[in-house]
Amino acid sequence: MDALIKPIRPNKPSDAKLPEARPAELDPSEFLRAAVLPDQPRPSRAEAEAAVQTLLSYIGEDPSREGLLDTPRRVVEAFDELYQGYHQCPAEVLDRTFGETAGYDDFVLVRDIEFTSQCEHHMMPFYGKAHIAYTPVERVVGLSKLARLTDIFARRLQTQEHLTAQIAAAIDEVLKPRGVAVMIEAEHTCMSVRGVAKHGAMTFTSRFTGMFRDNPAEQQRFLSMVRGPNR
């Protein structure tokens, strides 16, 4: 008896027109100002340290033993460093540009920007490299600013997809270039250290705007330069 295999999706007429996919719009507050305002209510440092003590007790530790007496303070200080991106303004990083480009009209690519971020689902690190390109209109931004922009967004609780979109949106909105291309490759410890524990698995995400989104040849040229002959 032959088995009847049903298609998962019904066949559509060949002339059916699919809606054009466009990236979702981001809230400008995500990339035009700091995420935490100076007057925003927040727990005190003492309350934060008490929360760390609670977590130590939860896992079965004794917060009063010698090796853990100063741990709450150290953890809160580490949080201040790891999450400093909440207090930094992405737009300000891209604010200063330079006009001496001698009529340069191709894209600018900064490859292999190393970063470390924290997964918003498990608060575990993910780390890797960002590759960023943009095609300027008359004025360019300092190359180090693209690395600093990456760090601002990375030093917040993140998903890799959101991080990729935020970097592209900030450059697109502030610099108004002809196009932006962002690719991120990263390893997530919430996947390599816990759960399925697949060490070395890499996640790739990308976002294209303007000429990179509309011109497949420019996308391919960007990807070829990112990968390079020895990668």
Give the active site residues.
119-122, 160, 188, 190
The residue behind tokens 């191709």 is 106
User: What angle do helix axes 143-154 and 160-175 make, rounded to 10 degrees?
Assistant: 140
φ/ψ of 80, rounded to 5, equals -60, -35
Non-local (6+) Cβ contacts of 198 within 8 A are: 191, 192
C-beta of residue 177 within 8 angstroms of C-beta of residue 155: no
Instruction: Give the span between the Cα atoms of 79 and 49, in whole angstroms.
Output: 11
Non-local (6+) Cβ contacts of 204 within 8 A are: 183, 184, 185
C-beta of residue 115 within 8 angstroms of C-beta of residue 150: yes
Instruction: Give the span between the Cα atoms of 131 and 226, in whole angstroms.
Output: 7
**Residue 179: how many CB atoms within 10 A of its CB?**
22
Instruction: Give the span between the Cα atoms of 184 and 161, in whole angstroms.
Output: 9
HSE (CB half, 13 Å, CA atoms) of 79? Answer: 13
